[in-house]
Amino acid sequence: MYHWLVMADSESAAYTRTAASPLIVQAAERVRPNAKLIALLALGHLVIDVNQGSLPAILPFLRAAHKLSYAEAGTIVLMANLTSSVIQPLFGYFSDHTARRWLLPASVFVSGVGLGLTGVAPGYGILLMLVVVMGLGVAAYHPEGFKTATGVAGDRKATALSWFSLGGNIGLALGPPLITTLVTGIGLAGSLGMLVPATVVAALLTAVLPLLTRTSHAPCAAAAEPRRGVNMPGAMALLILVVTIRSWTQLGFTTFVPFYYVDYLGADPRLVGPLLFVFLGAGALGTIIAGPLADRWGPRPFMVWVFIAATPLGLLFLNTSGVLAFVALGLFGAVLVSTFTVSVVLGQAYLPRNTGMASGLIVGFAIGTGGLGVTFLGWLADRHGLPLALWISALMPLAGFLVALTLPAPRDRESRLP
């Protein structure tokens, strides 16, 4: 991982180091977000993450149908995250060199096919293969989407990207109740219904590809921005560790809270969708609130203190029941997930010459490696019970806080990120 970062830094150093003129800098500051393009990209982001967010909710049904252990269920999550993460920096690397806008509709469709067919998979091996297909679709979409959104974000990147990210976070929140409704109403074959939104949105994105291409090649001062500043691979490695810890916590809750309620507390399986919707829906709201706050306070201080604020909320959820548990889960999701967009902005500040790769490393690699933690938590749950796995997940933000304290300030003198 560190080698990739150093390679990106050395290759980018070949670019001209001539500073942008004051006129170009002033023009960049006057660029307003392209709301239509951000909305279009957010729509694709929504469908991509509807598919990704549906996986934890369908897992209890797949576990029952295929008689899986908790460790095998955790492996499914691991495969989904590794394929959407290890490959994603590679897509980001190519995105930094040439635009591949056709990947946007293609990845939406591929992710829908992978998730939609999981309900009719004949065995565990085919199920893992379909999860890999879905993960590749997720991996292909994010770097190109984030880079395009950043290019039209003006000088308030955290705010603009928070709206783009809202599409994805809404998708993560809508996925669980949607797939739960389909599966409880029709059976596991109801997962095929997920092919419908993926096909429709992929067709829409294909129809507007000429518009996307013209916009991406339009002269804009922001296009020169990724080549300014100094790459900081060491700082980026620390940030990846911080995001990995956050991912471990988030995936731990989205994977094992459904099992905790259904298997441990004996709740109705139809409660799974609303539970995850509360957690991830509040996270979507937290993302919107976080953007302006991070622009005001700076993404680095925001990342540090949000982690310390998340821990007591996770513990409160594990020690309460009924409506109060739902409230605590929602607050925990809002605080924890709010760091999503902020971490992308900070990552692009650490790799200002390679913003596509920065997005891939944060959205893909760092989040995906959190899936390793889920596999370990599944092993613990099989041997020591689900509550232990969730307690470890709830306490992980403390480790994130300690690592976030070591994050340095970006070296880009033109950046206003503290």
pLDDT in tens, 106-141: 999 999 999 999 999 999 999 999 999 999 998 888
Model pLDDT for residues 216-253, shown as the tens digit of each residue: 555 443 444 445 668 888 989 999 899 889 988 988 89
- What tokens does 383 get? 């041997």
Which range among 95-99, 158-162, 384-388 has the greatest average pLDDT? 384-388
238's tokens: 């620390």
Cα distance between residue 109 and residue 107, in whole Å: 5
Nearest to 116 by CA among 203, 16, 200, 39: 200
What count of Cα atoms within 13 Å lies in the side-chain half-sphere of residue 289? 14
Instruction: Please give the structure tokens belonging to residue 198.
Output: 């993926």
Q: Average pLDDT over the chain, rounded to whole?
A: 79
Q: Which residue has the tokens 């997930």?
A: 337
Q: What angle do CA 32, 163, 45 make, to 5 degrees?
A: 120
Cβ count near 413 (within 10 Å): 9
Q: Model's pTM, two decimal places?
A: 0.66
Task: Determine which of 76-80, 85-89, 275-279, 389-393 has the lowest per-residue pLDDT on average.
Answer: 85-89
pLDDT of 131? 94
- Domain 2-11+33-404 sits in CATH 1.20.1250.20: yes
Counted residue by residue, the chain has a size of 418
Q: Which amino acid is at 180?
A: T
Residue type, 99: A
Q: How far is CA 417 from CA 38, 156, 345, in A?
A: 22, 11, 9
- Do the beta carbons of residue 363 and residue 344 sit within 8 Å? yes
What was the pLDDT predicted at 339? 83
Round to whole Å and give the CA distance between 285 and 137.
25
Q: How many percent of the chain have pLDDT more than 90?
A: 25
**Secondary structure (H, E, C), 358-410:** HHHHHHHHHHHHHHHHHHHHHHHHHHHCHHHHHHHHHHHHHHHHHHHCCCCCC
| Nearby residues of 12 by Cβ (< 8 Å), 6 or more positions away | 227, 231, 353, 354
Has residue 85 got a pLDDT over 80?
no
Tens-place pLDDT, residues 286-342 = 877 877 787 777 788 888 888 888 999 999 999 988 889 999 999 999 998 888 778
Helices (H), 260-366: 272-297, 299-318, 322-337, 339-350, 355-359
The CA–CA distances, whole Å, from 211 to 48, 92, 186, 214 equal 21, 21, 39, 5
Residue at 89: amino acid letter = P
- Amino acid 178: pLDDT: 92
Domain coordinates in residue numbering, the chain: 2-11+33-404
Residue whose C-alpha is closest to residue 50's, from 171, 182, 131: 171
Helices (H) and strands (E) counted in the chain, each on its own, are 18, 0
DSSP per-residue string spanning 173-185: HHHHHHHHHHHHH
